[in-house]
Amino acid sequence: GAGVSQTPSNKVTEKGKYVELRCDPISGHTALYWYRQSLGQGPEFLIYFQGTGAADDSGLPNDRFFAVRPEGSVSTLKIQRTERGDSAVYLCASSVSGRGTYNEQFFGPGTRLTVL
Amino acid sequence: AQKITQTQPGMFVQEKEAVTLDCTYDTSDQSYGLFWYKQPSSGEMIFLIYQGSYDEQNATEGRYSLNFQKARKSANLVISASQLGDSAMYFCAMREGRRGYSTLTFGKGTMLLVSP
């Protein structure tokens, strides 16, 4: 079956521009997560949606970052006034539910964002 | 303090040999889950194995086993009979009960290279 998909796979933008990154979770998964992976690091949590609402956005680094999931499926991560430090791979994951210690998260291939 | 520590930036192993990748964690929660993910050069995160804090037996999944030592707060991954395709980054991650089990905290990873 279809896994988590993310578009675009690569995005190059200029400092100060606005970007949107899209995530299509596995059908039926109510929980959706965004992570950011900088070069040589493990993924870092950004935000978690349970259904349409952001249940935990404590990982968003500042108010330039915002994410939505209006219909409880597709999610968009929005970054305003991009900075060179935003360059990273942005990973999306989904799971059947957000609850329980064993709750396998299925990851997408990521979007590589480069800010020039 | 780091919640997940992977002290081996890189490991080398010969094909068909076993290898242990180290992971220590820090949490005051009684209920938590530990995960290992594999990230090949293509970038996708592949779930390998899970250990719950209340599980009495070490988890096993095919050639992967998790050496869980709760008192020492370690959750080392053992790969038996290494294969060339095992060459990848390996990440240890934890989900804590206090955060509603909603997010994963990752270590910095270990690069495993399997030689013929």
| A74 to chain B, closest Cα gap in Å | 18
| B96-108 residue pLDDT tens | 866 665 688 999 9
Angle CA B84–B24–B113, to nearest 5: 15
| B15-64 residue pLDDT tens | 999 999 999 999 988 888 999 999 999 888 999 999 999 998 999 999 99
- What's the token pair of residue B13? 């192993």
Q: Which residues pair with B39 in a beta bridge?
A: B89
Pairing of strands B105-106, B4-5: unpaired
CB-based contact B5:B109 (threshold 8 Å)? no
Cα separation, A84 vs A87, whole angstroms: 6
From first to last of its 116 residues, chain A has per-residue pLDDT tens of 589 999 999 999 999 999 999 999 999 999 999 999 999 899 999 999 988 988 889 999 999 999 999 999 999 999 999 999 999 999 999 998 766 656 788 999 999 999 99
For residue B92, the chain A residue with the least C-alpha distance is A42
Residues in CB range of A16: below 8 A, 6 or more apart: A81, A82
Which residue type occupies A77?
Answer: L
Q: Which residues pair with A47 in a beta bridge?
A: A34
For residue A5, the chain B residue with the least C-alpha distance is B44
Of B21, B29, B45, B46, which to mutate for an interface test with A (greatest number of A Cβ within 10 Å)? Answer: B45
Q: How many CA atoms lie within 13 A of B95 on its CB side?
A: 19
